Amino acid sequence: MTLVCIADVCTAPSGPGDAGGGPDGRIDANTPIEALASGPTLLLLMDDDPSDGALDSAENHAVTCDPACPNLAGNAHAGQAYRFHGKESLAVAPASAFRPGAAGFTLATWVNVITPPDDVVLFYALVAKGLPPDDASFGLSVTGSPLHASYYTSHHQADGSAPLALGTWHHVAMTWTPASVTGYVDGVQDVQQASGPLVFDDTPLTIGRNNDANGLVGFFDELVYYDRALSATEVAALVTP
**pLDDT at residue 22 greater than cutoff 60:** no
Highest-confidence range of 131-135, 151-155, 168-172, by mean pLDDT?
Answer: 168-172
* Amino acid in the structure at residue 23: P
Q: Phi, psi (5° rounding) for residue 91?
A: -130, 125
Give the CATH fold of the 50-239 domain. Jelly Rolls (2.60.120)
Q: What is the pLDDT of residue 17?
A: 26
* Cis, bond preceding 146 (omega within 30 deg of 0): yes
Alpha-carbon gap, residue 155 to 174, rounded angstroms: 16
Spatial separation of the C-alpha atoms in residues 239 and 188, rounded to whole Å: 10
Judged against a pLDDT cut of 80, whether residue 31 lies above it is answered with no
The pLDDT value recorded for residue 40 is 64
Ranges of each domain in the chain: 50-239
d(CA 103, CA 165): 33
**Euclidean distance between CA atoms 145 and 67, whole angstroms:** 28
Residue % of the chain over a pLDDT of 70: 77
| Mean pLDDT of the residues in the chain | 79
Asked if 124 and 215 touch (Cβ cutoff 8 Å), the reply is yes
Q: Which candidate, 31, 71, 27, places its Cα nearest to that of 48? A: 71
Helix or strand or coil: residue 49? coil
Residue 206 pLDDT exceeds 60: yes
Residues in the chain: 241
Q: Please check the confidence at residue 117 and state whether its pLDDT lies above 70.
A: yes
